[in-house]
Structure 1
Amino acid sequence: MKKTLIALGLALGIGAAHAQAPQPVTVILNSGSTMTQGIALVLANQMQEQGAQVHVLLCDQAGDIALRDAGGEALKPNDVTPAQLLGAVIGKGATAAVCALYLPNTGHSAEALRDGVTPARPDAMGAAILEAERKVLVF
C-alpha cells in the first residue's frame, strides 16, 4: 500500500510538472492579407494567455508589420492593426523574427525592425520546428 501511494504521488508530481511546462508554438505568418495576419496574431495572443510560449516568424508581405513604421488597416471589432497585435504578443513575452529572406529581399535593414523583432537564423528555426512537442501553425 505504501509503495502504491509513493508511486501515485510520484506520478502525480511528474504529471503536474509536465502540465506546467509551457507548450512551445511557432506561428509562421507570410500572408499579406490584413485579416489573415489579424487572426494569426489574435490566436497567438490567445495561446499565449493560455500558457503557450509563442514564437512568431514573419516572411514575405507579413514581414512589413515588423517594421518600426508599420501602419495598416484596423480590424473590427477591436480596431487594432496586425502591427499592434504583434506588439501585444511581443509585450507579453513572445519572441518574433523576420525570415532570413525578408531583409535582403526588401531592402530594409535590421535597424528598421521594431523592438523585439530580430532576423531569424534558418538553422535555429529549422531545429525549433523539428522539436517534437512544438506546434507549428502557418498562415
Structure 2
Amino acid sequence: MADLKTISPVSDLTEGDFVTERCGRLAYSCCIPTINRHKEHLTMIKSLKALIAAAIVAVAPISAQAGDQKMVEEVLVILSSDSLQTQGMAMVLSNTMAQQGAKVNVLLCDKAGDLALKSYEAPALKPKDVTPGQMLRGLMKQGGVANVCALYLPNSDYSKNDLIDGVGVATPPEMADQMLNPAMRTFTF
C-alpha cells in the first residue's frame, strides 16, 4: 500500500498514492484513480460557494432597499410652467401626495404664480373639470403650504393683497433651506 499523505494542493498527487483529505467535517481517503472524483467534488464545492456568495451580493441591495421603503414625509413642489396641463398635473400629484400623508410645500414662480391670485381663471381640465387654481386651493385645505416666489410680485402688476388667503411670499433663504434639506424631496414642473 502506498504511503498515506495529507495533501494540499491536490495537484501534488502521483498515481498510486493513497491520500486522506479533509473537506470541512468530512475526511476522504482514496487512491489516485478515484482522485478525479475528489477534484470534481472540491470544484463543485468552490462553485457552490461562489454561487451562494453571488446570490447574497445580488440580494443584499434589494433587502436593504425593501427595509428603506419609508415614505417621504415632506416635499417641495416648484411650479414655474405656464402650461395648463403641466400646472394641472403638478397639482394632481401634490394633492395625491398630501392624501398619502406627505406635507406638501408649493413654490409658484413666473406664470404659475397666477394660480395663487384671487382673480385666477383658467379652463377646467378633464376628467374632474377643475382648474389648477382650484386644485391648489384644495391642497391648501388639506394643509398644504403655498408661496409665490420672491420675484413674482415685484415683476408683475399684483400685490400681496391680490393673493388668495394663506398664500405667502417665499424668501430665498427659506426656499434654499427646503431645497437642501435631505429629508425633503423636491419636484419641479
The normalised TM-score by structure 1 is 0.84
Structure 1 segments of 4+ aligned residues over 4 angstroms from their partners: none
Q: How many residues align?
A: 121
Q: How far off is 1:24 after superposition?
A: 0.8
Given candidates 145, 148, 162, the residue that maps to 1:112 is 162
1:68 aligned partner, one-letter code: K
Given candidates 168, 173, 182, the residue that maps to 1:123 is 173
- Counterpart of 1:86 in structure 2 is 136
- Is the helix fraction higher in 1 or 2? 1
Provide the aligned C-alpha RMSD in A.
Answer: 1.4
Q: How far off is 1:22 after superposition?
A: 6.5
2:122 aligned partner, one-letter code: G
- Counterpart of 2:85 in structure 1 is 35
Retained in 1: the 8 A contact 2:72–2:183?
no
Query: What are the equivalent positions in structure 2 for 1:12-27 lying under 5 Å apart?
Result: 23-27=73-77
Gaps of 5+ in 2: 1-66
SS at match of 2:179: helix
Flag the structure with more relative contact order, 1 or 2, with Cα contacts below 8 A and sequence separation at least 6.
1
Q: How far off is 1:85 after superposition?
A: 0.3
Q: Percent same amino acid among aligned pairs? A: 49
Q: Does 1:58 align with 2:108?
A: yes
The normalised TM-score by structure 2 is 0.62
Question: Partners of 2:173 and 2:126 in 1: how far apart?
Answer: 37
